[in-house]
Amino acid sequence: MSFTPAPTGQHHPSGVVLSFARKGRVRTLRLGPLALSLIIATPIFVLTASAAALCWNIFRDDVLVSLMRRHGDMQVAYEDRLAAMRAQIDRVTSRQLLDQNTLEGQVRHLLSRQAQLEARAATITALAEQMGLEARPPAAAEPQRHQPAPAPLESRPAQIEKPRPVASDKPLPEGFQLRSGLTHPPGVSGVGPDKPEPSTNQDIAILTRGVDRMERDQIQAVAQIGATARRKVSRLKEVITETGLSPDRLSTPSGKAIGGPFVALKADPDGSPFERELSRMSRDYEAASRLTQIVSTLPLRRPLAGRLEITSSYGPRIDPFLGRMALHAGLDIREEPGTPVRATAGGKVVSAGWSGGYGNMVEIEHENDLSTRYGHLSMILVAEGQYVSPGTILGRVGSTGRSTGPHLHYEVRIDGEAVDPGRFLRASDRVAGVR
């Protein structure tokens, strides 16, 4: 076999001529360019495919792992993006609900404080009346200029719905009602439902400042009541001390026919500013109330009306009948016969009749072991065992018993011992400025 290339310069395509000789016989095989290219390319392709197959078999697991990892990373990134979008949606929704709930919560809080201030106003009014003060309700918040007349504060639902006014069966003190301009629900006038209207927030702020101001006024009112009670305690102690008695040793009288279950006043010394002030005031108020009740039982009124003409004071004197030194146990007050004699304090009549040198005499037993005697009466108008109130007419001025002329013999006794009635009469002048 021999290989002979085809002659060049001919008009047929170039190629390769293969000659095969066998037993003197020659065969020629002409290969064109295409066939030659296929013969050359086939081994290369086979080698390349074999190499690729070998590489695939060797690195297939790594490639698959890499592809799966890439796919997993893409899936995780996609899920993270979805989660971020959901979180953003949740934040927007939560902000909407928070703003909505905040507005409603502020309104409910204002309504709660309004009811609390209303209850406090009744307490302050009662305390002020008992202390003799004029209770003036705190002024409501003034509306700003160029604003329409405010409407009653309303509690509104979150969605667009006609507001419903809050009903109350209790009468409110004058100027005590909360006012506001909450007339537009959220989401109206170009404001999204996730944000309250600026005007609504402004109205809430105005109302909050008004309620705060009313609360401060109430705290000041309680402080004023406490200051008044302290001044009253001081003056009442002066009155009692003037009589020679000790305020701390006197007991509180049983008082009027009143009662009921005990309900403690909410006055926590560690609570709100109002409760702290109320707790401080309570101590002074209780002290003033106690001393007021005690003073009301002392014989601090005048036994005779008008100016008293005292003809003989308490203490040592020359006895008008014997001309010797003696202890005068009371006051002699000159007055026209028949002038009404009145009880200087309430109590029980323990004696009403003739009593030796006293003549016609009335004796009244008072609280704290005090008693008073009224002697030389021309007429007795009460009976033994009778309970009398201050100012009750006991009898009339006379000159019975050891008397040189019409007058009233007036005594004050503590535990049966006579004391100077003049101290009680002088103290009675102070009482007029305390009550």
Calpha distance 203→44 (Å, rounded): 89
User: Tens digit of pLDDT for each residue in 371-426?
Assistant: 999 999 999 999 999 999 999 999 999 999 999 999 999 999 999 999 999 999 98
Mean pLDDT of 106-111: 77
CA distance 423 to 435: 19
Which tops the pLDDT comparison, 366 or 435?
Answer: 366
Higher pLDDT, 219 or 194: 219
**pLDDT category of residue 338 using cuts at 50, 70 and 90:** very high
Residues facing residue 77 across a β-bridge? none
Q: Cα dihedral sign for 403, 407, 413, 416?
A: positive
Could you report the per-residue pLDDT of 279-322, keeping only the tens digit for each? Answer: 888 888 888 888 988 998 999 999 999 899 999 999 888 888 88
The 10s digit of each residue's pLDDT in 220-264 is 888 888 888 898 889 899 889 888 888 888 888 765 655 555 555
Q: Which helix (H) or strand (E) holds 375?
A: strand 370-380
Query: What pLDDT, on a 0 to 100 scale, did the predictor assign at position 331?
Result: 93
Q: What share of the chain is helix, strand, coil (3-state, %, to 5)?
A: 45, 20, 35
List the structure tokens of 388. Answer: 């009398």
Question: What's the average model confidence in pLDDT over 164-172?
Answer: 44
Q: Is 0.75 surpassed by the pTM of this model?
A: no
Whether 34 and 52 have beta carbons less than 8 Å apart is answered as no
Q: Compute the distance between CA of residue 178 and CA of residue 153 in angstroms, rounded to an integer.
A: 6
Q: State whether residue 343 is helix, strand or coil.
A: coil
Contacts of 130 (CB under 8 A, 6+ apart): 289
DSSP 155-212: E--SSS---EEPP-SSPPPTT-S-EE---S-TT-TT--TTS--HHHHHHHHHHHHHHH
Nearest residue to 17 (alpha-carbon basis) of 8, 25, 9, 6: 6
Q: Residue 389, Cβ neighbours under 10 Å: how many?
A: 9
* Percent of residues, the chain, with pLDDT higher than 90: 25
Q: Which of 158, 128, 292, 301 is nearest to 223 (CA)?
A: 128
Q: How many CB atoms lie within 10 A of CB 52?
A: 10
Domains for the chain: give ranges and CATH numbers: 309-434 (2.70.70.10)
Q: How far is CA 296 from the centre of its chain?
A: 35
For residue 121, give the amino acid letter: A
For the record, the structure tokens of 35 come out as 């066939």
DSSP label at residue 398: B
Q: Which residues pair with 349 in a beta bridge?
A: 364
In the numeric block, the tokens 């909360």 are attached to: 178
**Which pLDDT band holds residue 194 (cuts at 50, 70, 90)?**
very low
CB of 391 closer than 8 Å to CB of 400: no
**What angle, 0 to 180 degrees and rounded to 10, lies between the N-to-C axes of helices 198-242 and 273-297?**
30
Q: Which two tokens stand for residue 204?
A: 């809430």
Q: Mean pLDDT, to the nearest integer, of 137-164? A: 41
Is the CB of residue 280 less than 8 Å from the CB of residue 265? no
Q: What is the pLDDT of residue 265?
A: 65
Q: What is the pLDDT of residue 364?
A: 97
